[in-house]
């Protein structure tokens, strides 16, 4: 009934979108944290697992993959930190938040996938946190607005 109306009639969409930038930033932050956790588990694992008589951490591919993941995580962290400061200052724009969400959730998925590969078959077993991390990562580029919708927002900000 009309007596139960919250706020102004016809303003529901505006109310809904008011917190979207903060929600998207929080998903981006979770993405960076998740990717960093994947890196940590993988660093431990590659030191203990041996193949062909040596720890798999000794293979150049392992070193390169983990160097790349850490670099991407650190760069993403710098951007989300900047966005948190903007949020606190009340200046975080929808496009800033869309960039953070798009980039960090895609990074989360990429990092989970690349780290999981270094676990070999164990990476497919849910007893290992990396398997769960991979499954959880898949949804983050969908909920809170898909990557495609984030790119649409960024393109609009570019005047396209
Ligand atoms: C686990 C989970 C939790 C969720 N929690 C919440 C929640 O708490 N609150 C809430 O409101 N919603 C929630 N959602 C919904 C979520 O936000 C939507 O699933 C998401 O926004 C995508 O919408 P859709 O599923 O309708 O996909 P669709 O809109 O049908 O999209 C399907 C595909 O088409 C693409 N697409 C759609 N429109 C365009 C376009 N304009 N240009 C280019 N490509 C396009 C999409 O990117 C996607 O690849 C949740 C979803 C999941 C999976």
Residues 6+ apart with CB under 8 A from 84: 25, 29
Residues 6+ apart with CB under 8 A from 74: none
Residue numbers annotated as active site: 23
Residue with CA closest to ligand 1 atom 11: 144
Query: To the nearest whole percent, how much of the chain has pLDDT over 70?
Result: 100
pTM recorded for the entire structure: 0.94
Sequence spans of domains, the chain: 38-157
Rounded Cα distance, 23 and 8, in Å: 23
Query: Which residues, judged by CB distance below 6 Å to any ligand atom, belong to the binding site of ligand 1?
Result: 139, 142-146, 148-149, 152
pLDDT in tens, 71-98: 999 999 999 999 999 999 999 999 999 9
Q: What does the chain come to in residues?
A: 160
State yes or no: pLDDT of 102 exceeds 90.
yes
Among 3-17, 82-96, 106-120, the minimum mean pLDDT is found in 3-17
User: Packing angle between helix 20-48 and helix 94-118, nearest 10 degrees?
Assistant: 20
Give the distance (Å) from ligand 1 centre to CA of residue 149.
9
**What is the CATH class of 38-157?**
mainly alpha
Output the pLDDT for position 16: 87
Rounded Cα distance, 135 and 156, in Å: 31
């Amino acid at each position: 009934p009309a007596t139960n109306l919250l706020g102004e009639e016809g303003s529901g969409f505006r109310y809904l979108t008011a917190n979207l930038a903060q929600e998207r930033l929080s998903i981006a932050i979770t993405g960076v944290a998740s990717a960093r956790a994947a890196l940590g588990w993988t660093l431990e694992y590659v030191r203990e697992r041996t193949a062909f008589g040596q720890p798999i951490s000794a293979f150049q591919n392992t070193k390169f993959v983990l160097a790349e993941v850490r670099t991407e995580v650190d760069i993403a962290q710098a951007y989300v930190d900047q966005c948190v400061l903007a949020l606190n200052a009340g200046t975080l724009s929808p496009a800033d938040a869309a960039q953070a969400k798009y980039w960090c959730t895609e990074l989360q998925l990429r990092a989970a996938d690349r780290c999981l590969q270094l676990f070999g078959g164990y990476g497919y077993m849910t007893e290992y946190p990396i398997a769960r991390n991979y499954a959880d990562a898949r949804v983050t580029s969908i909920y809170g607005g898909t990557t495609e919708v984030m790119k649409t927002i960024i393109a609009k900000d570019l005047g396209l």
